[in-house]
Structure 1
Amino acid sequence: MPQPPSFTARAPGDPRPRMLAIDWGTTSLRGVRIDAQGHITERRALPQGILQVAPGGFADAFAQHFGDWLAEDPQLCLLSGMVGSRQGWQEAAYCPCPADFSALCSQLLWLDNPQGVPTAIVPGMSSLAQSQVDAVHGVPDVMRGEEIQVIGALALMGSRDGLLLLPGTHSKWVQAQNSSITGFKTFMTGELFALLAQHSILGKTLDSSAALDEAAFIQGLERAQSADSLSHLLFGTRALSLFGALDPAQSASYLSGLLIGQELRTMPTAAGSRVAVIGSSTLVQRYSLALRHVGCEAVAFGDEATWAGHQAIYDHLTQTTSSTPPSLTPQP
């Protein structure tokens, strides 16, 4: 297995890139090139997720999409996301929580260097030690890709502690304390919404493509605080539409509020709490609205958290004393 190389920070005047930061997920592939000053100089986004890569074809696919960047002799290439899963390039063992930043960096999985560039996969994280896992006493939780966003968001906030929320197909609530990720929980909220909207009776009376109706969304949030079971609350979405209380657009927002409200009920946050919300603008909007409704402050982040997390690892590996997040716009 390739061993981690020794690094020193690339001089700011060096014309070669500092690093390539790659986020390779299930359905998409994104990358940025970061220069010696820490600025993003180019971005690429491709519909080439790990599921679109044939077994054994990751090195060739990577060279096809980023070979010209690799030819510029970057000092480091970091890959995060599902590329480190069993279906990815090579499986990177989960780093168990609680874990600090150094522990995560020490478990980077180094690959055979594509075109001679030191290349590593950032490991995912698990919330339960393997020896404790069984169906009765302990159910594990896992994440891949979100850990780099958490690192980046903390760096951007200049914070060592916080509650971070990463909405998506599988939403993550992550607790950080003293620069360690101490635990997290996953909710299948996005996937449940899609399944219910497309493959259940609820889909007959809602329009999942409609814009957010804030009033209906908040009604769903408030209804989710009921002690009734989720399956009963979900059927209420159909009943309300049958009696004309919700039109199709409102039904979709109400259902979204119900499911997100269940997350808030499970992860209660005290009024006045500050929560970092990291994700796409559409989901950040909904979760931020939900958090504000219960009296919390939502701090929004997008792609910048991912790239700041990659750069934080570079800074750690090169033992630099400062950590300047990559700028959010390409430099001339």
Structure 2
Amino acid sequence: MKSTTFLSCDWGTSAFRLRLVERQSLKILAETHSKEGNAATAALWQLPGQPPGQPPGQPPGQRVAFYRAILEKHLTKLEATVKTSLDEVPVVISGMASSTIGMLELPYRALPFAVDGSDLLTRTMAATADFRHEILLISGVKSADDVMRGEEVQLVGCRFEHTEEEELFLHPGTHAKHVLVRHGQAVAMKTYMTGEFFSLLSTNGILAASVEEGGKLDEGQNRQWFEKGVQDSQQANLLHNTFLVRTNDLFKKASKRENYFYLSGLLIGSECHDLLANRPARITLAGEPALLALYGAALQKLGIADKCPIRMKSAEEVTLNGQSIVLQQQLLTAKKP
């Protein structure tokens, strides 16, 4: 198991996922997940008397052990699934575990960085008597005014070719990332708070009563309303356009579910507007299937897809691939005299 598999840990702000993965095929042999993201774990760490018998304000030196205990609990579940010991199988962790709310804060790697994963900032933590797994913790990346943690591994997992043409890595999500790649280097990035704005607008304030989650892009009139949102986002100010979600509902122009897609189109269209003036040679979309469908539709509606080849990758695929590549880079470095 030690030489043929690795443990992939995608530890975000709000979610935790651990997978046992074959190194060669990247086949997932077992997995477990929970809502024990770094934010919840950090809050639990700060609680007085947690764990039982521990005084308020737990010793900083025990922080890594506290987070390892979360890992150990999930490792036990995986061992029960595969019915064998996973001792000494290395754990590769990306995401927010290297942040201020994670198990061990690492500084950001400054742009540019090699898209083959060879120069990302990492930290190796040796196995212990209580936790018999070496941990490879991968840090995030920063520019002069932007940051990301986790997406850099997914970018590596996309396997960009070394070319002088400017390519774009686009990861949709709560904080969508646009990263420019040139000559085998990630050279610039921008974060768009598209997903967070959508969540705030659709669950709080006046617009919450005018939208309803549910349905798929190609059901009913959802696509037409999404595309209308994308189109409208190019023709008027976003702060005005979002009020149209309210009047669409008030005047019965759209159903609440159609309005949900209209609001999505407004925000995604606004995010992608910059690409009209700065169109890359190619775009790689990497994310969850539902978001890939929406972004693909938006890029098509804006005419970008007609002039710029787009390839789509699942978030799972590029995460596992990226972690595997960084792990292999570390193993090769360790073998050098």
- Shorter-chain TM-score category? 0.7 to 0.9
Deviates more, 1:186-195 or 1:14-23: 14-23
Provide the residue aligned with 1:34 in structure 2: 21
Provide the residue aligned with 2:312 in structure 1: 300
Identity %: 26
Provide the residue aligned with 1:50 in structure 2: 38
Determine if the alignment matches structure 1 residue 187 to structure 2 residue 192.
yes
Q: CA deviation at 1:270?
A: 6.6
Determine if the alignment matches structure 1 residue 86 to structure 2 residue 100.
yes
1:159-174 paired onto structure 2 within 5 Å: 162-174=167-179
Provide the residue aligned with 2:260 in structure 1: 252
C-alpha contact 1:150 1:164 (8 A) present in aligned 2: yes
C-alpha contact 1:31 1:45 (8 A) present in aligned 2: yes
Partners of 2:280 and 2:100 lie apart in 1 by 41
Change (3 A) 1:215 1:91: same
Bigger relative CO (Cα 8 Å, ≥ 6 apart): 1
Q: Which amino acid aligns with 2:248?
A: L
1:1-332 paired onto structure 2 within 5 Å: 16-35=3-22, 37-47=24-34, 48-53=36-41, 54-55=44-45, 56=63, 57-66=66-75, 68=79, 71-74=86-89, 76-101=90-115, 105=119, 107-114=121-128, 115-128=131-144, 140-153=145-158, 155=159, 162-212=167-217, 213-226=222-235, 228-268=236-276, 273-293=281-301, 294-296=303-305, 297-302=309-314, 303-319=316-332
Q: CA deviation at 1:164?
A: 1.1
Change (3 A) 1:70 1:127: farther
Runs of at least 5 residues in structure 1 that lack an aligned partner in the other structure: 1-13, 129-139, 321-332
C-alpha contact 1:126 1:142 (8 A) present in aligned 2: yes
Q: CA deviation at 1:93?
A: 0.9
Change (3 A) 1:105 1:64: farther
Normalised to the residue count of structure 2, the TM-score between the two structures is 0.79
Partners of 2:287 and 2:140 lie apart in 1 by 18
Q: RMSD value over aligned CA atoms?
A: 2.5
Partners of 1:242 and 1:90 lie apart in 2 by 50
C-alpha contact 1:271 1:295 (8 A) present in aligned 2: yes
Change (3 A) 1:51 1:304: same
C-alpha contact 2:167 2:280 (8 A) present in aligned 1: no
2:18 partner SS: strand
Q: CA deviation at 1:310?
A: 0.8
Partners of 2:25 and 2:153 lie apart in 1 by 17
C-alpha contact 2:92 2:323 (8 A) present in aligned 1: yes
C-alpha offsets along residues 240-276 of structure 1, whole Å, 9 cap, x if unaligned? 3323322212211111000001011133367795311
Paired residue total? 292
Q: CA deviation at 1:317?
A: 2.1
2:304 partner SS: coil
Partners of 1:36 and 1:259 lie apart in 2 by 38
C-alpha offsets along residues 21-43 of structure 1, whole Å, 9 cap, x if unaligned? 21111222222323454543513
